[in-house]
Every structure is written in C-alpha cells, then in structure tokens.
A and B are shown apart, each in its own frame.
Chain A
Amino acid sequence: EHCLGPGPMATFHAVVRALPESVCQQALRVEKGGAVDFARAEREHQLYVGVLRHKLGLQVLELPADESLPDCVFVEDAAVVCEETALLTRPGAPSRRKEVTEAMKIALESLNLNVVEMTDENATLDGGDVLFTGREFFVGLSKRTNQRGAEILADTFKDYAVSTVPVHDSLHLKSFCSMAGPNLIAIGSSEGAQKALKTMQQMSDHRYDKLTIPDDAAANCLYLNIPNKGHVLLHRAPEEYPESAKVFEKLKDHMLIPIANIELQKVDGALTCCCILINKTSEL
C-alpha cells in the first residue's frame, strides 16, 4: 500500500456535520425551490450517516451544527482530503468561509492528516468542485472556485495532475458527476455535464470508463472501497430518480445503497456534499 497510485481507495473514516435548522431558510441555493422540511432533512441525513457508520463500518466523526452557518452540513466544500493531506479550503461564498473552523482542523488533525490551509485571499475553492479520480484531480472553475484556488490545490497535492474544467451551468463540478468506481466516472446527461466530461477526457492521459446517468443530480453518488465489502455505492433512490437508479442497478460488482436526499437537494446538496471521506492507510 503506497501513498500513490490509482486503484481502489480504501476508506476508513468520515467527517460529517449535523445540519442546523437555519439550513431551511438561509442556506444558499441556486434556484428557488420548495421549502426544506427540516425534520425530513434531518431524517435523511441521519440515515445517510447511519449507513456510513453502521452499514459500512466507517469511523464517523460528527461535528456539531452551527446555526450561524446554514450550509455547514455540506462539509465536503470545507476540506479536500487525499491520502495523508487535508487542504482546508477557502469557500467561494463568503458566508461559508467560517465553516472552515478550528474544529474542522482539529478533527482532521486528529486523524493524523497533514492539514494545509488555504490562506491566500485571492483564492476560492469549494470541495464540491474537486473531483479526485484516484489518478488525478479535476477542479471545476465555477462561481465558487477560481484559478488561484485550483493552483493551491495543485501545490498541495503535488503528486497529481490537476486539470481545470470550466463549469458554467451548475453550482459545482460535482453537481453533475462523481466517481462511481475506481476508474468509473458517473456523468449526467445534460449538455454542460457532457461538455465537462469531454474536457476531462481530453485533459487526461488516462481513459476512464463512464456511466451516463439520465439525471445530473443523480450522477453525484458516493463511492467507497471498503475492505471486506468491496465496491460500495450510495446513489439516489429510485423514488427520486427512477431512470437514473436503473442505470446504477446495472453495476453488478457494486454493493448498491439507495439513499434519498430530497430535502437537502433543495439547497443544492448532493450525496458527496455531506461527508469528507478519509482513507488512511498509514499510521505514520
């Protein structure tokens, strides 16, 4: 087991954060939509965390909610973790900068991660714009993430190529794509998603398999490779995205876990948004 290298990532830890009630009223959203039913949102989130903790046996570190940070449940944006290094981001939305707290830093350090902070005031980076494939990074240049932020990410994870992908029509790069397997990119069907995929394919020396998902939102799924469990994929439930769920169901080698994410979706939350996965393979 080396720090480098593509292939299955072993995941052992997860950092999550409880959702504040303010998420219903004050969370940022791209489009106006229905009101968030907090109770239901909480249930969904608990189910999600439960799957990680109990069903998959991850060591889940749960940070408390902060009412002053309506979006704080989306921990993915606050930190990018790869191997033994965690990069604390500087989120593009000023209201979210405080999500990157000392508590987060301490949590990550407690996992023996080498924590790097993004201090450059010209840099912005949301973790939702960072797609790590196991071989390289793709960073969406979006409203939330700029070139400078991507550069700092590249400086932090020097082993890997970091390619930038323009993202225009969506909030984040991962609003329409994610990894669904060691070499498998799940990609939405929208024009923007397909264009981004083309860009990624062009930028990469590696050829990925792709899984085209009818619904962009459903293309954000959560893949984990867990010892003794193999390929695990959390994907959006059939009741939300029946067509997309069918596509996931074709993945025969994966343990498939449908997860509903109806409420947080209203505030642009996707499956990957709500946790930071850490695959620590070394105690050094």
Chain B
Amino acid sequence: MTTEVGSEAEVKKEAEKLEPDTAKEKPEEASESLENQKTEETEETQDSSSSPVPTSQSSPTSRKERDPSEGKGISRFLPPWLKKQKSYSIAEPKDEAKKKAEGDEHVEECERQLPEEVAELKGEAAAENHQTKTDDKEEEKHSVSSAETQPAKEDSKEIEVEKVTEEPEEKLEEETGKRETKEVQTTEIKMEKAPQKAPKKIKTVQCKVMLLDGTEYSCDLEKRAKGQVLFDRVCEHLNLLEKDYFGLLFYENSDQKNWLDSSKEIKRQIRNFPWLFTFHVKFYPPDPSQLTEDITRYFLCLQLRQDIVSGRLPCSFVTHALLGSYTLQAELGDYDPEEHNSDYISEFQFAPNQTKEMEDKVVELHKTHRGLTPAQADSQFLENAKRLSMYGVDLHHAKDSEGVDIMLGVCANGLLIYKDRLRINRFAWPKILKISYKRSNFYIKVRPAELEQFESTIGFKLPNHRAAKRLWKVCVEHHTFFRLISPEQPAKGKFLTLGSKFRYSGRTQAQTRQASNLIDRPAPYFERTSSKRISRSLDGAPVGITDQSLLRDLSATAAGPTGDEAAVLAKLKNGESREEDGSPIKSPPLELTQDGKNNSLKVDGENIYVRHSNLMLEDLDKTQDDLLKHQASISELKRSFMESTPEPRPNEWEKRRITPLSLQTQGSSHETLSVVEEKKRAEVGIEETVVINEINEGKIQVAIDGGEPCKVEQLSKKDSSSTSSESSSSSESEDEEVGEYQPYHRVTEDVIREEKEGNEDAKEVEGYTAKVVQCVESVIEGSKEKVSIGHAQVAEESLVEGNAVSGTPEEKSFTEEAKQDLREEREEEQLKINGDLSHIGIDVKPQIICCSEPPVVKTEMVTISDATQRTEISTKEVPIVQTETKTITYESPQLDGSAGGDAGVLLSAQTITSESVSTTTTTHITKTVKGGVSETRIEKRIVITGDADIDHDQALAQAIKEAKEQHPDMSVTRVVVHKETELAEEDEG
C-alpha cells in the first residue's frame, strides 16, 4: 500500500514535469506563469494551462486517488480531455512512475545492492526508454527521470525544462536559449558515464532527517524533488500510514522552524540551508485514541516525550512522573525488581530537570502499571498528555499593541494569547473571520463580541515578516486541518491574488480519519526504542533542543530575525480600520488568466501585471542577489503604495462593493470553483450551472466607466501593489509580504462541524445545525428537475446564514444584523452599478429553466430572486415522494445584472444540447456588446442524473473541469448547484 501511495505521488510528479514543457512552447505563458505555481500543477496540466492551479481543484481528487484502499480507478476521475490529450500520462506514466519509484530505491541503495538488481533496473529503464522514443517528446521527461540513456538532443530539452522549473525568473527566451546550450554539454558529459553507472545520472542531494526516536534517516533525493517525496520516503521508512498528523521541519536558525511544504520543491523552500530536516508531529490529534494504529500513537508518544523533555510541554512534577512511568512500561514492560535495579531509571530522561525524587516516583508508578502492554502504556501516556494545557499548542513570540511581549499559540481549537504563562485571551476558530499578515504584522479579524456592532481587527507584531507569515501559515493549516472537512482550494493560480496563495493542501483530520478507517493491515511490528537511547545518542541533551543545536552553526549564517520594531497599532474597529481595509489584502483577485493569450487585452490591473512581468524579464541576467534586491525594492514600492493609500479607505461593506467592480473587469472568481469543490463533499451536485463569462476585448474601462472614479483609482492602485507583491512571491514564495485567509467563506463544511460556543441556547443551536447538516448530507437518490436561481444575493445570503449557524447563539443576532447590512449594501451596490455593469444575468433566467422531466417525483421550483427577502433555500414537500431540494449558488462577487440596467446589445445567441450517460449538457451562448466591449457568455446547464452509484461530486467536478477546458480563455463566474434528493430512504447519510 505504501509503495503504491508513493508511486502515485510520482505520477503526479511526472505530470507536473510535463507542464513546463508545454509552457515553453508558449513563451507568453511561460513569462506569465509564476514560480512553483507552475510546478505545482497536477494532472490537470491542461486545465487553463498557464494557470498554476496547484493542488487546487484536483487536490481532493488526487488525494482520493492516492488512497488505493478506496478501490476506485484513477481514470474514473480523470476528465476525458485529459485522457484524450495525454493518455499516456494516465496509463504509462503510472507504470513508469512505479518503476521509477523502484528505480529510485535502487538508486538509493545501489551501492549496497546486488549487481543483478542494478542490471534489472537498467533493463527496465531501457525498455522504458525505448517506449519513450516512440512517444511524443513530453515523454522524455519520464525517461530522463528514470535515469536512462537519452539522445542528447532530447536530454537537453529536458534540462532546459528543468531550468524553467527551477528558475522561473529566467524564463526569458534568450536566456533559455543560452542555457540550453550549456546544459546540453553538461548532459552529454553525463551521457558518457551513463551506461556504466546509471543511477549516478540523477542529480541528487542527500537529505538527512532526524527521526523522533533520535535516529537519523538519510536518503538521496532528486534535486528538484518536492517536499512530498521526502515526506513519503520518511513515512515509508517509518512504516507510518496515518501520516497526515506529521510533517518535516527545517530550521532557519535555532528557533525558526518552518514546515516543509509538500507541494513545493524542497530546494526552493530551504534555499541555502542544508538539507536537514526533522520529522515532527504537525497536528496533535486532540484525541489520540481515535488514531487507528498503535504505531501512529507510538510516534506521537515519541514526539510528546521530546516536547516534555525540551520543556515545550510543561508538566507538573506528578505528571512528569506519571508519564515517565508509562514510558518505562511501554519500553521495558512490567517492572522487574531483579532486572530494574535502582540505576536503570536514571538513564532515561523524563523531564527537563529530572530529580532523584522524580525518578523514585517514576519507579513507584511503574510498578503499578503491571500488565499493561506497550500499546496500552502508550495509550495511557497519551490520555494523560492530551489533557495538558499546552498539548499541541504551537507557540510564536509576538508583541501586542503596546509592545508587550506575548505568545500566540495556535492549536486545534483556535488561537491562544499568552502573556508569560497566563492565558490572556483566546480566539476560537469560529470567532475568527479572517487571518492575515502584512509585513511583520499579523492580524485576525474577529466577529463582533456581544453588544458590539463591528468586527474588530486585532494586530500583533511578530519579530519579522517571515515569522508573521509562518504564524499565518500555521493558522491556515490548523484551521483547515481541524475544522474543515476538506481543504480549501488554494487561490487559483490564474488570479493575481495579492500575497500568499498558500493553503493547506493535505488531508484534513476528517479526511485522514476516514482514510485511516480503511487501513487494513495487520498491526505492523515495530520496536519501541528505548528513551535512554534517545538521551544517550544526543549526549543527554533533550532531543528537541538537540535538533536545533544541530543547526546552530547554520543560524550564524542565516538571516536572523529582525530587531524589535515598535509594535503596531492593534485593535482597529472596522469602520476606521485603515491598515486592514486599505491594504491590498482584500484587493480584487486579479486574474492571472486562463491562457495567457489575452494578456495584452486585459484590464488596467493586468496590464500592470504584464508590464511587471517584463520588468522581471529585465532582471534575468542578474544574480540571485540582485534579484532579491530588486524584489526588496519592489516590496518597498509596494509598501509606500500601501502607506500612501488615500485616507478614506473602504470599510468592509464598501469592499464588497468594490470587489464586484473589479471582478467584473476580470470576469472571474476563484471562489466559485472552490466552493463547488467543497460542495462535492456534501454529496450533492445533481445539477449545476456553470456560467462562463468572458471579456475578450481590450476595452478596459467597462466596469469602471460609470462607476465611481475614486474607487476605480483605488482599485488600480491595489492592482499595482498586488502586482509587485506577486513579483516578490514569484521568485521566492516565502517572501510574500501579505497573506490573507478567511476561514468562513466556506459555508457548508463549517456549518457541520462548527463548535458551539457558549452555553445558552445550546439546544437551539444544535437543532439548527442539525437541520443544515441534514440538508447538506442527504444523498441523492434520483435527480430530477431544476430550479431557477436569481442573483448573487443568494450566495451571499447563504453564506451569511452559514455563519449564523456556525457562530455562537449570541453571535447569531449579530449575524442577522450583518445580513441586514449586507442587504442594504447589496441594494446600494445595485443602485450604484446599475446601468453599466450589468452584463451578467439578464439573459440568464429564461434559459436556466430548461430541464429534464422528473420521472416519478414532482418537485417545486425554488426561485430566489429578491435579495432583500430571505428565502429558505431548502426543502419542500411533494406528494407521493418526499424530496429535498437544495440550491446553492456560488458566484464571484460580481454584480448580477439581472436586477436591471443596460444589458448591452445582443449579438448572437445559440443553444447546444448534448447528452451522455448520466449528464445532459445544455450550452447557451450569448454574445453581447456593451459599452464598446463585447462579451460572450456561455451558460451550461448540466443535469447529472443518477442514483447513489454515480459519484455526483466527481461528475460535477468533471463538468466544471470540462467547461474550463473547452473554454480555456473564459472564466467561471457562477456555479449553481441544485440538488434534489428523495427522502424515501432517509437513513443513508
């Protein structure tokens, strides 16, 4: 199983490698696409090819795929376009990848291995190679990675690609040309050696990983390997399946630890630091008894022992003793007076400052554990450790608004604020609306407290911006892991979102639990290494500390944290919140765009972006240092931009107004799809409508024309600042100056799991929640009909509703208020924008109601059209069979013009219908001209019919994928999911 997982990862990699190749053929794209985004591409390579959709949409899918125990064929998840265009990458590469994985192993061990094995490897590879040559050139990639002989020409190409991958900044054509030659030579030299020592051909780097038992694991990795490869190797080495709780750390200096991002190249993350990592628990399971395997619990124990000994996890004397006694029981078994003389214990380390008294107590307690198996002792250890208040709390140094030193602790439940050892505040995830950082400041926006009217933003000052980003990432990851059912989609690469696009892409706790349930292997044998060995091997120093000391020499060279700048303003009320709201954080997601083809035809902001790309190109010949300097100056520019932003900054609601404006010009929203993806989880998706919207003319001013000039100005400023940020992130993702994360724009998932804070009305809340859950989780029995959807407000409303449910009861009322505000805002928005921006919905409604007839069930139509009137988006009863209907609209926050306004001039309209086994697709295309801009709207109505046998989620995702594929230069602006469920058999959740 493990191997297979590994090889799946390889498949991914293979696919990724293809990407740059494709990109290379389209220089424009290449220049546009940024950094590792590109390399993050998965099977979806073709999908809006330049758009670096990292793990995004495909991520849950591929995750699923990667769990062989689910027993579903990969190909079933792969959209046909992928099959058509790159069929080899589905089938053959998979094989190859497997071989390659094997191959890699061989490489690793070849020195020690039997010669036949090497020969075998060669044979394999040779066969591969043969096959490869007959394939198209993209195939080369595979064979090269399998370390086999290649015609030089092809090889050079590969290298060139490699170059592109490694240094996207250097994607300039001239430059690549130069490099090409150089590389060709190198490869040729390599080629000569190849026949004798095939494995040597791979450019590898030796990685060392400190394991939890104090041993070191080393392996050779391809230089360009992603974090996942190393992580998988380590987990394989450890025989660990429930690996999502773990991660690899690397240290920037003695106390700055970073998580290795699995989805990114290692090299890019660790920069100049040595390839030295520490295997570490990343997400401490709040209830370790829910882990499936003892071996997982064992590693968690090892981690906690480290945490305790290093002082990271403070315990009382008694707890030290108790936990120590379980450690003894687990590692030595029952106390044996003969064997366990008075000295046996002092070789173990149980506490940072271990005393004789403590050791005595440990021994006494050890005696009482007679009969506990090692696994039971571990469980007891964990049961006690998990209750410690600092269990699983990841602490970060910070200062509050007054410059007072505090600690921010990130944990499963939220963010804890400590001053010295005291908890002085706590923000549970449900309280937090947004997490962001800007430079070295870290912000959380929290729901209004009771009796407060506005959300407030609380700022903290971190030692430097990397620390701020690190904290932000950890928050994003913890929130996602512990509170969501599936990871949120990373911002689609096609958007030029400002700042970090980072999102947690691994499995969530819910997913990993689900996956663990499928683990079907006999409990693996493993040896519990003695804790004394740990302490011995590290000269008695606590492991955790030693980890860092290993890097001490590094820290000298490493860029240390900056000094303590004056702490920054902390608490801002929404209305006056300048930093926050004026910041480009919220700035409209500029579209990095589909294909790169219509770059030049873009709106202001994007022109700036393009210009900027050119700027980057100018830097190509510069050294890395120069580049960094350049980025720094860009950051500086951006900073001054931010700081010079005009005084009247928009508040939250104004932002909502603004966003649609800009989005309109961009014509797309990443949120749309991501939400749909999320929807999949809820087993919905009988029918969905994908509205594809394109602005394919160069006239930029549409959206802005009649709008409010001042806002436009602001917008463009934001755009440009976001541009510069993008540039800095493009060459070094770790340098993003800002990042933003909004835990709660995902409705359904959070609804389900939302913690109910506060005691009052708990029942009431539960009832409410339960209802929603039911809606979400009901399974589709047979799909029938459809429904017409009014406007964007629907989506907004449901979002708000979700919040209300998720919030505490007290908060509910405020959410209501918020809703009120929202409505007002919406109305205002329409007033403002009517007349010039309404290029969307007008023609929508009529066509939307095309439908297939319900065979058995009669269903009502739910029409939600009036924003100010809150309509329950849910169920209704029908004679004969009870049906549940649910409609959810996901829409980019752009204006829905259906309320009125200038529809433009209709140029043409056509409707195409196509059918497949379980889906009926109706495509309606309208072309309009409006204000000098022609706009093509394609509306697809896809009816997916079927029962439980059909994976509606997949079908939906695929439909969207297909839509995107068919119209790569368009963007999805709205997805309406309408699901209908027969409630006849109620019990299948």
Q: Does chain A bind chain B?
A: yes
Asked whether, in the complex, the Cβ of B422 is within 8 Å of the Cβ of A159, the reply is: no
A151 touches B759 (CB 8 A): no
Are the CB atoms of B422 and A154 closer together than 8 Å? yes
> Which A residues touch B450, using CB under 8 A?
198
B423→A161 contact, CB < 8 A: yes
- List chain B positions with a Cβ less than 8 A from chain A: 314-319, 322, 361, 364-365, 384, 387-389, 411, 413, 419-426, 428, 450, 756-759, 762
Residue of A5, A135, A202 contacting most chain B CB atoms (<10 Å): A202
Q: How far is the CA of A207 from the CA of B430 in the complex (A)?
A: 14
In the complex the two chains form, is B424's CB within 8 Å of A208's CB? Answer: no
- Closest residue of chain B to A136 (Cβ to Cβ) is B389
Q: Which of A85, A114, A208 has a CB less than 8 Å from the CB of B759?
A: A208
Question: Are A202 and B425 in contact, CB atoms less than 8 angstroms apart?
Answer: yes
Any B CB within 8 A of the CB of A108: no
Chain A residues in 8 Å Cβ range of B411 = 205
10 contacts between A and B (CB under 8 A): A5-B384, A83-B316, A135-B387, A151-B421, A159-B315, A159-B387, A164-B423, A201-B757, A203-B423, A284-B361
A83 and B315 CA atoms in complex are apart in Å by: 13
Give the Cβ gap from B865 to chain A, nearest Cβ, in Å: 40
Whether B316 pairs with A151 at a CB distance below 8 angstroms is no
Q: Across the interface, which residues of A come within 8 angstroms of B413, CB to CB?
A: 205
- Which residues of the partner chain B approach A83 to less than 8 Å between Cβ atoms? 316, 318
| Chain A 16-49: CB-based contact to B (< 8 A → 1; otherwise 0) | 0000000000000000000000000000000000
Shortest Cβ gap from A158 to chain B (Å): 4
The reply to whether the CB of A160 lies closer than 8 angstroms to some CB of chain B is yes
- B314 nearest CB neighbor, chain A only: A158
A127-143: CB near B (< 8 Å → 1, else 0) gives 00000000110010000
A2 surroundings in chain B (CB, below 8 A): 322, 384
Nearest B residue to A150 by beta-carbon distance?
Answer: B422
Q: Scoring A residues 74 to 85 as 1 if CB is less than 8 Å from chain B, else 0, what string do you get? A: 000000000111
Distance from A162 Cβ to chain B, minimum over Cβ atoms (Å): 6
B757 x A3 contact (CB < 8 A): no
Query: Which residues on the A side are within 8 Å of B759 (C-beta)?
Result: 201, 207-210
Interface residues of A in 137-193 (CB under 8 A from B): 139, 147, 150-151, 154-155, 157-164
B364-A158 in contact (CB<8A) = no
Instruction: Name the contact of B424 in the complex, choosing from A3, A155, A164 (C-beta under 8 A).
Output: A164
Which of B315, B387, B421, B423 is within 8 Å of A155, CB to CB? B421
Q: How far is A208 from B411 in the complex, measured between Cα atoms in Å? A: 20
Residue of B nearest to A282 (CB): B318
Residue from A84, A204, A208 in contact with B426 in the complex, judged by beta carbons closer than 8 Å? A204
Chain B proximity of A40: nearest CB distance (Å): 38
A163–B424 CB distance below 8 A: yes
Name the distance in Å between B759's Cβ and chain A's nearest Cβ. 5
Residues from chain A with Cβ under 8 Å of B322 in the complex: 2-4
**How far is A158 from B351 in the complex, measured between Cα atoms in Å?**
13
CB pair A154 B420 closer than 8 Å: yes
Most interface-central of A151, A158, A163, A210 (chain B CB within 10 A): A158
By the criterion CB–CB under 8 Å, are A159 and B425 in contact? no
Q: How far is the CA of A208 from the CA of B758 in the complex (A)?
A: 8
Q: Are B389 and A159 in contact (CB under 8 A)?
A: yes
Q: Which of A3, A161, A198, A209 contacts B318 (CB 8 A)?
A: A3
CA distance A284 to B758 in the complex (A): 39
User: Given that A164-B424, A202-B426 are contacting pairs, would A84 and B318 also be in contact in the complex, using a CB cutoff of 8 Å?
Assistant: yes
Interface Cβ pair total, 8 Å cutoff? 88
State whether A159 and B421 are in contact (beta carbons under 8 Å apart), knowing that A201-B759, A210-B759 are contacts in the complex. no
How long is the Cα–Cα vector from A114 to B361 in the complex, in angstroms? Answer: 13
B residues near A164, Cβ cutoff 8 Å: 422-424
A-side residues, CB < 8 A to B, are 2-6, 83-85, 114, 135-136, 139, 147, 150-151, 154-155, 157-164, 198, 201-205, 207-210, 284
Question: Which residues of B are found within 8 Å of A203, using beta-carbon distances?
Answer: 423, 425-426
CB of A123 to closest CB in B, whole Å: 12
A163 and B423: CB pair below 8 A? yes
Contacts of A160 in B (CB 8 A): 389
Given contacts A161-B389, A201-B757, contact A114 B317 (CB under 8 A): yes
Closest B residue to A198 by beta carbon equals B450
Residues of B close to A139: CB separation below 8 A? 422
List chain A residues, Cβ under 8 A from B757. Answer: 201-202, 207
If A159-B387, A207-B759 touch, does A4 touch B425 (CB 8 Å cutoff)? no
* List of B residues within 8 angstroms of A204 by Cβ: 426
B422 touches A163 (CB 8 A): yes
Question: How many angstroms from the CA of A174 to the CA of B365 in the assembled complex?
Answer: 36
Specify which of A158, A201, A205 is in contact with B316 (CB 8 Å cutoff).
A158
Partner of B421, one of A6, A136, A162: A162
A159 / chain B contacts, CB cutoff of 8 Å: 314-316, 319, 387-389
Instruction: Give the distance in Å from the alpha carbon of A161 to the alpha carbon of B388 in the complex.
Output: 8
How many angstroms from the CA of A33 to the CA of B2 in the assembled complex?
Answer: 76
* Bound-state Cα–Cα, A146 to B420, Å: 13
Chain A contacts for B762, CB-based, 8 A: 207
**What's the nearest-Cβ distance from chain A to residue B447, in Å?**
11
A261 CA to B450 CA in the complex, in Å?
Answer: 35
Whether A158 contacts B315 in the complex (CB less than 8 A), given A203-B425, A207-B757, comes out as yes
Q: Are A154 and B388 also in contact (CB < 8 A) when A159-B316, A201-B757, A210-B759 are?
A: no
Contacts of B422 in A (CB 8 A): 139, 147, 150-151, 154, 162-164
Chain B residues near A161 (CB-CB < 8 A): 389, 423
Whether A4 touches B387, Cβ cut-off 8 Å, given contacts A83-B318, A205-B426, is yes
Contact of A3 among B316, B364, B426 (CB under 8 A): B316
CA distance A201 to B758 in the complex (A): 6
Which chain B residues border A155 with CB–CB below 8 Å?
A: 421
Q: Which residue of B lies closest to A151 (CB)?
A: B420
CA distance A202 to B387 in the complex (A): 19
CB distance from B316 to the nearest CB of A (A): 5
Q: Evaluate whether A154 and B426 lie within 8 angstroms (CB atoms) in the complex, with A3-B316, A4-B319, A201-B759 already known.
A: no
A101 to B389, CA, bound (A): 31
A154 near B421: Cβ-Cβ < 8 Å:
yes
Report the Cα distance A209→B762, complex, angstroms.
10
**With a CB–CB cut-off of 8 A, which chain B residues contact A205?**
411, 413, 426, 428
Contact A162 B423 (CB under 8 A): yes
Q: A85 — which chain B residues lie within 8 A by C-beta?
A: 316-318
Instruction: Give CA–CA (A275, B364) in the complex, Å.
Output: 32
From B316, B364, B387, B428, give the contact of A284 (CB < 8 A).
B364
Q: How far is the CA of A205 from the CA of B414 in the complex (A)?
A: 9
User: Which 5 A-B residue pairings sit nearest by Cβ, starting from the closest?
Assistant: A161-B389, A154-B421, A158-B314, A163-B423, A3-B318
* Bound CA span A207–B756, Å: 9
Chain A CB within 10 A, most for which of B316, B317, B419, B420: B316
Report Cα–Cα, A209/B756, bound state, in Å.
Answer: 13
- Neighbouring A residues of B316 by C-beta, 8 Å: 3, 83, 85, 157-159
User: With the chains together, A5 CA to B322 CA distance in Å?
Assistant: 13
Question: Whole-angstrom distance from the CB of A119 to the nearest CB of chain B?
Answer: 17
The smallest C-beta distance from A44 to any residue of chain B, in angstroms, reads: 33
A3 to B317 alpha-carbon distance, docked (Å): 10
Q: Which residues of A contact B319 (CB under 8 A)?
A: 3-4, 158-159
CA distance A284 to B759 in the complex (A): 38
Distance between Cα atoms of A3 and B422 in the complex (Å): 21
Q: Please name all residues of chain B whose beta carbon is closer than 8 Å to the beta carbon of A154 when the two chains form the complex.
A: 420-422
Shortest C-beta distance, B730 to chain A (Å), equals 40
User: What CA separation (Å) do A118 and B562 show in the bound complex?
Assistant: 37
Q: Specify the chain B residue showing the minimal Cβ separation from A152.
A: B421
Contacts of B423 in A (CB 8 A): 161-164, 203
Distance between Cα atoms of A151 and B450 in the complex (Å): 29
Q: How far is the CB of B448 from chain A (nearest CB, A)?
A: 13
Contacts of B428 in A (CB 8 A): 202, 205
With A4-B322, A4-B387, A162-B422 known, 5 other A-B pairs at CB within 8 A are A2-B384, A159-B315, A205-B413, A207-B757, A284-B361
Give the shortest distance, in Å, between A183 (CB) and chain B (any CB). 10
- B729 CB to closest chain A CB (Å) equals 35
Provide the bound-state CA to CA distance between A202 and B808, in Å. 11
